[in-house]
C-alpha cells in the first residue's frame, strides 16, 4: 500500500504528510495539538504493547523482528496496529550488528533505507549537538564574556560511527588562531543528550526549552552555564525542525511503521519517541513499541524515563527469548565479538537451557516489578527442540509470566505470530495502562541508582568512585534532585561485567562517573568501563556492504 494511503488510514491529515523518498515519509505532528494530560483506563484509549527482552547475546534474540511480526498479526486479527521503533545508528550497521530493520519475513522496508541514515534525523542531531560544542569554543576564543572555565567544559562532540580513537582527543592545537588546547571526547551521536531531548520532547516549545536547559560547564566563579547563555538553542532547534517529525515507513506486509528515536539503551535511554507514539495513538487501535537491549536496560528506562513523559504505561509487555541464547547463558559455550559463533550453540541442549533460564526469570521479574503483565515470546530457530520450549514455558509461567508462546514470524511473517498476537491482545484488553515506577522522583539520586542496581541487576553493594561522589554533591547546583536516572552499563550482562552470564547476584556495582542531562531531565550514571563511543570489531560489517553498479545496496542485513 502506498505510504499516503497508510497515512490516511492512520488519520493523518494530508497537509501533515510529506513524502521524503522511496518508502519513507515525514509526519508533521502539529495536527495533534496539545498532548492529552496523563490518564489511565480512559474509555477507548488505544492499547499499548512494550516489546523488550532477556539479556542480549551476540546471537540476536529478535526484539525488532518480534515487534514487527506481532504488529502484522494484530492487523490480521482486525486490530488496527502501528509499530513504533527507534531509528538504527550507522555505527552498529557498519560494526557488528549489520542493521536494525527486523529480519526474515518480518522486516521494515526498504531495509537499506532504514539502516542507512533514513531521512537524516541522526545527522541533524549531530549537527545541532556539534553547533553547541562550536559555540562553547567560539565564546572562549572571542573574549569569553561568560568566563567559561575550559577545565569544566563537559560537552563533547559526536559522530554517528564507531570510532575508538576518538574517545579521548585534544583540540585547539596549532597555536592561538585555532583556539586554546584542551582535552575532550567524541561520543556516538545517538547517545547525545540532544537525541534524548528529541525523543522526549512533546512540542516545538518543549524542544526549544529543553535545548536551552542543556548545561555544559561552569564559569570561573562556579556558576552553572547552559546553552541559553550562549543564545544558541534557537539555532539548534532550527536544525531539528524536521528531525522532530516522526518518520513513516511500512512493514513487509504493509503495517504502518513509525520510526523515530534512538538505539543504544545501554548508554542512552534507548526508546522510540514520545511524539511518535502519540502519532500512533491518535489514529490506531494499538501501538507496539520496542525498548532497546534487555528489560533491565531499555525496559527499565522505558518505564522510569519515557512513561513519566508519555503519561501512561503499556497494557502488556512482551519479553523475547531464544533457546539458543539461553544455551549461552547456561554455559554451553561463550561468544566472542568478531569470532565465529561456536557450532555447539546450534544444537539442542535442554540442561543448558534450563540453567540459562535464570536470566529470563530475572527479566520476567524485572518487568513484573512495574505492575505490568508479561508474555514471553519464544523466537524459535530450526535447531530448537520441543523439550527446550517446554522448559522455557514451564519456568516462565512459574516466574510470573502470563503465557509463553513459540513464534515463527522470522520464517513465516505475520502467520508466525498469530498465537502471540491473540494472547497479547487478550491480556492488553484486560489491563488499563497504569504502571508502578521503580522509584519515586523525590528519592535522592544516589538512592535511585542503588534501587535500579539492586532491584533490576541483582547487585549488592553500589560503590561510587571519588569522581562520582564529587558530582553527586552538585545535584542541587544542577537542580537534578527530581530527575530519573539513566544507567550506562554493558548490555551483555545483568551486571556491569560482560563475562557474568545468567543472573549474577550480590556483586559490587561500580559507578565511575555522573553526568547531568539537564535538558533531557535525567542523570546518567556511568558504570564500570562502559564507553559512550563504541569501537569496531575485528571483522566489521562494512566489509560486506556495497553499492552495485545498478544502484542497489547489498550486504545490509
| Domain layout of the chain by residue ranges | 43-120+243-335+345-413+420-429, 121-239, 445-527
DSSP state of 448: H
Q: Do 527 and 489 contact (CB within 8 A), yes or no?
A: yes
pLDDT at 38: 43
Write the CA distances from 174 to 148, 178, 182, integer angstroms: 21, 6, 12
Its pTM surpasses 0.75: yes
Query: What's the half-sphere exposure (Cβ side, CA atoms, 13 Å) at 93?
Result: 25
Q: What CATH fold (topology level) applies to the domain 121-239? A: Domain 2, N(10)-formyltetrahydrofolate synthetase (3.30.1510)
Q: How would you write the pLDDT of the chain (557 residues) with one tens digit per residue?
A: 899 999 999 999 999 999 999 999 999 999 998 555 444 445 578 999 999 999 998 888 999 999 999 999 999 999 999 999 999 999 989 987 667 888 899 999 999 999 999 999 999 999 999 999 999 999 999 999 999 999 999 999 999 999 999 999 999 999 989 988 999 999 999 999 999 999 999 999 999 999 999 999 999 999 999 999 999 999 999 999 999 999 999 999 999 999 999 889 999 999 999 999 999 999 999 999 999 899 999 999 999 999 999 989 999 999 999 999 999 999 999 877 656 788 899 999 999 999 999 999 999 999 999 999 999 999 999 999 999 999 999 999 999 999 999 999 999 998 899 999 999 999 999 998 889 999 999 999 999 999 999 999 999 999 999 999 999 999 999 999 999 999 999 999 999 999 999 999 999 999 999 999 999 999 999 999 999 999 998 889 899 999 999 999 998 87
Q: What phi and psi values does residue 117 have, to the nearest 5 degrees?
A: 60, 5
Q: What phi and psi values does residue 523 have, to the nearest 5 degrees?
A: -110, 125
Q: Do 359 and 329 contact (CB within 8 A), yes or no?
A: yes
Give SS3 for 399.
coil
Q: How many C-beta neighbours within 10 Å does residue 21 have?
A: 10
Q: What angle do CA 498, 499, 505 make, to 5 degrees?
A: 90
| Integer Cα distance of 144 and 146 in angstroms | 5
Which residues are CB-contacts of 350 (< 8 A; sequence separation ≥ 6)?
385, 387, 388, 391
| Integer Cα distance of 248 and 84 in angstroms | 9
Q: Do 326 and 360 contact (CB within 8 A), yes or no?
A: yes
Which residues are CB-contacts of 267 (< 8 A; sequence separation ≥ 6)?
188, 191, 488, 530, 531, 532
Q: Do 487 and 264 contact (CB within 8 A), yes or no?
A: no
Burial group, residue 498, by CB count within 10 angstroms (0-12, 13-18, 19+): middle
CATH of domain 445-527: 3.10.410.10
| Integer Cα distance of 441 and 457 in angstroms | 20
Q: Where are the alpha helices (DSSP H) in 27-173?
A: 63-76, 90-94, 111-115, 121-141
| Integer Cα distance of 36 and 26 in angstroms | 22
| Integer Cα distance of 448 and 432 in angstroms | 26
| Integer Cα distance of 417 and 287 in angstroms | 16
| Integer Cα distance of 455 and 412 in angstroms | 37
Write the CA distances from 137 to 181, 183, 189, 240, 515, integer angstroms: 10, 12, 19, 22, 20
Beta strands 403-407; 215-218: pairing state: unpaired
pLDDT at 164: 96
pLDDT at 36: 52
| CA neighbor of 273 nearest in space, from 35, 523, 1, 31 | 35
Instruction: Find the Cα–Cα–Cα–Cα dihedral 69, 61, 524, 205, rounded to 10°.
Output: -10
Largest CA distance in the chain: 72
DSSP class per residue in 135-171: HHHHHHHTT-TT-B-GGG----EEESS--GGGGSEEE
| Integer Cα distance of 70 and 86 in angstroms | 16
Q: What phi and psi values does residue 276 have, to the nearest 5 degrees?
A: -65, -40
| Integer Cα distance of 285 and 75 in angstroms | 10
Cell 571526547 found at: 185
DSSP state of 446: H
R_g over Cα of the chain: 23
Write the CA distances from 106 to 364, 382, 407, integer angstroms: 24, 17, 12
Which of 3.40.50.300, 3.10.450.50, 3.40.50.980, 1.10.3720.10 would CATH assign to domain 43-120+243-335+345-413+420-429? 3.40.50.300
Cell 535538558 found at: 519
Q: How many C-beta neighbours within 10 Å does residue 310 have?
A: 24
Q: Distance of alpha carbon 429 from its chain centroid, rounded?
A: 26
Amino acid at each position: 500500500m502506498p505510504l499516503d494511503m497508510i497515512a490516511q488510514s492512520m488519520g493523518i491529515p494530508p497537509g501533515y504528510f510529506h513524502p521524503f523518498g522511496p518508502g519513507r515519509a515525514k509526519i508533521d505532528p502539529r495536527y495533534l495539538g496539545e498532548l492529552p494530560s496523563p490518564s489511565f483506563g480512559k474509555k477507548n484509549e488505544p492499547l499499548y504493547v512494550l516489546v523488550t527482552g532477556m539479556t542480549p547475546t551476540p546471537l540476536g534474540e529478535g526484539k525488532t523482528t518480534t515487534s514487527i511480526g506481532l504488529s502484522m498479526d494484530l492487523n490480521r486479527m482486525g486490530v488496527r496496529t502501528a509499530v513504533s521503533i527507534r531509528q538504527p545508528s550507522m555505527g552498529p550497521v557498519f560494526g557488528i550488528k549489520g542493521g536494525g530493520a527486523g529480519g526474515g519475513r518480518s522486516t521494515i522496508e526498504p531495509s537499506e533505507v532504514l539502516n542507512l541514515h533514513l531521512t537524516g534525523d541522526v545527522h541533524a542531531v549531530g549537527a545541532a549537538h556539534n553547533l553547541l560544542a562550536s559555540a562553547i569554543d567560539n565564546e572562549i576564543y572571542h573574549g569569553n564574556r561568560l568566563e567559561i572555565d575550559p577545565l569544566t567544559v563537559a560537552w563533547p562532540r559526536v559522530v554517528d560511527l564507531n570510532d575508538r580513537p576518538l574517545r579521548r582527543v585534544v583540540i585547539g592545537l596549532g597555536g592561538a588562531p585555532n583556539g586554546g588546547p584542551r582535552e575532550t571526547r567524541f561520543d556516538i551521536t545517538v547517545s547525545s543528550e540532544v537525541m534524548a531531548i528529541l525523543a522526549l520532547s512533546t512540542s516545538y516549545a518543549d524542544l526549544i526549552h529543553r535545548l536551552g536547559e542543556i548545561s555544559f560547564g561552569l564559569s570561573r566563579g562556579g556558576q552553572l552555564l547552559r546553552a541559553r547563555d550562549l543564545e544558541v538553542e534557537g539555532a539548534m532547534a532550527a536544525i531539528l525542525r524536521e528531525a522532530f517529525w516522526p518518520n513513516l515507513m511500512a512493514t513487509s506486509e504493509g503495517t504502518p511503521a513509525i520510526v523515530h528515536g534512538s538505539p543504544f539503551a545501554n548508554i542512552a535511554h534507548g526508546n522510540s519517541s514520545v511524539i511518535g507514539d502519540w502519532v500512533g495513538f491518535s489514529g490506531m487501535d494499538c501501538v507496539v513499541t520496542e525498548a532497546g537491549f534487555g528489560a533491565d536496560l531499555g525496559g527499565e528506562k522505558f518505564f522510569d524515563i519515557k512513561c513519566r513523559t508519555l503519561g501512561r504505561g503499556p497494557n502488556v509487555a512482551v519479553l523475547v527469548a531464544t533457546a539458543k541464547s539461553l544455551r549461552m547463558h547456561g554455559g554451553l559455550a561463550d561468544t566472542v565479538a568478531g569470532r565465529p559463533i561456536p557450532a555447539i550453540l546450534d544444537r539442542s541442549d535442554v540442561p543448558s537451557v534450563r540453567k540459562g533460564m535464570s536470566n529470563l526469570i530475572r527479566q520476567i521479574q524485572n518487568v513484573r516489578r512495574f505492575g505490568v503483565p508479561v508474555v514471553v515470546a519464544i523466537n524459535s530457530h530450526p535447531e530448537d527442540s520441543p523439550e527446550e520450549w517446554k522448559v522455557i514455558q514451564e519456568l516462565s509461567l512459574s516466574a510470573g509470566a502470563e503465557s509463553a508462546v513459540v513464534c515463527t514470524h522470522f520464517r513465516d511473517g505475520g502467520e508466525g505470530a498469530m498465537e502471540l498476537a491473540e494472547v497479547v491482545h487478550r491480556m492488553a484488553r484486560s489491563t488499563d495502562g497504569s504502571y508502578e515506577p521503580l522509584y519515586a522522583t523525590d528519592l535522592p539520586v544516589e538512592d535511585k541508582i542503588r534501587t535500579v542496581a539492586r532491584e533490576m541487576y541483582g547487585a549488592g553493594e553500589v560503590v561510587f568512585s571519588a569522581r562520582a561522589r564529587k558530582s553527586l554533591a552538585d545535584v542541587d547546583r544542577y537542580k537534578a534532585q527530581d530527575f530519573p536516572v539513566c544507567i550506562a552499563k554493558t548490555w551483555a550482562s545483568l551486571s556491569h561485567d560482560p563475562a557474568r552470564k545468567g543472573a549474577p547476584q550480590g556483586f559490587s556495582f561500580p559507578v565511575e562517573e555522573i553526568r547531568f542531562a539537564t535538558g533531557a531531565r535525567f542523570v546518567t550514571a556511568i558504570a564500570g568501563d562502559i564507553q559512550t563511543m563504541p569501537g569496531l570489531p575485528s571483522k566489521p560489517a562494512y566489509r560486506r556492504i556495497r553499492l552495485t553498479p545498478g544502484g542497489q545496496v547489498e550486504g545490509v542485513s
